[in-house]
Structure 1
Amino acid sequence: MSQQPAPAARYRTRPTIVDAIRFDGTHASVLNVMHFVDAGRGTTEIRIRAAEKASGSSIEIPSPDGWVCIDAGDWLMRDANGRLARYSNTVFTADYEPLPDGEE
């Protein structure tokens, strides 16, 4: 007797709380990202590239998976495992919302 394949079903992502910061291309934003990335992890290097692209400034940040490149307007996210990931503003704001004050 063979089993019938399960029918398609709908899924949603589990609620996940992440830390994130938006890079806007300014010098102050570079410093804020540097503090965000270091956050007790001992990061000693961040690469800053000139604003030669239409998108403006970009920075590269070291991670265990290689260098993460973020452009002005992108979000840098750190998940519960400490992994860094880049998200465009469109994707980040579609997937995440600010946590209400006092909620962890």
Structure 2
Amino acid sequence: MSMQDRPESLDGLLGFITAALPDEPTVTTEDRAALAKLKAKKRELEAQQEAKIPGVAQYRKRPVVVDALQWTGENIVAALNFFDAGRGTTVVNINAPADRSKGWIEIPTLEGKMRASVGDWIIRGVQGEFYPCREDIFRATYEAVEG
């Protein structure tokens, strides 16, 4: 293929490659795998194009250090001390039944009262505000600060 015959788009390239790969035993598994990767890349690029909405841009969360306590249902005193250290914010309600795994803690947030279940993290934000965060989201968003 000459430079003038070279496809200008990914669609053209995929069409060219597909036409060049007859359904014969001479086509290797590696060839088919390479074509599958190209098709997957095409789908990824199309999805990215569809996701672009006028006026919408992407933003990265600024790296800030927050204090956090994981609510276990057993650490009532630690939770109370954590809230007290947060400039006088008080816990609205703690439910600590005999089976601590079913306990929860209700805290005031900027959006109103929210509950943290056992295993959730309670975070003190940069302005001293508190909010609960599920374990999976906490692990995906935060990492421990060394030192």
* TM-score range for the pair, normalised by the shorter chain length: 0.7 to 0.9
Deviation at 1:66, TM superposition (A): 2.8
Moved over 3 A (4+): 5-11, 43-46, 50-53, 62-65
Supply the AA of the counterpart residue of 2:126: A
Contiguous gaps of at least 5 residues in structure 1: none
> Structure 1 vs Structure 2: percent identity of aligned residues?
36
Supply the AA of the counterpart residue of 1:36: F
Computing the radius of gyration over CA atoms, which structure comes out larger, 1 or 2?
2
2:119 counterpart SS class: coil
Bigger strand share:
1
Separation in 1, partners of 2:86, 2:58 = 39
Note the 1:1-104 alignment, pairs <5 A: 10-26=58-74, 29-39=75-85, 41-51=87-97, 56-63=102-109, 65-101=111-147
Contiguous gaps of at least 5 residues in structure 2: 1-52
Query: Per-residue displacement from partner, 1:38-92 (whole Å, max 9, x unpaired)?
Result: 1162345541225499x61101123454323111000000111111111000000
TM-score (norm 2): 0.53
Count of aligned pairs? 94
Query: Per-residue displacement from partner, 1:10-37 (whole Å, max 9, x unpaired)?
Result: 43211111111000111xx111111001
Supply the AA of the counterpart residue of 2:146: P
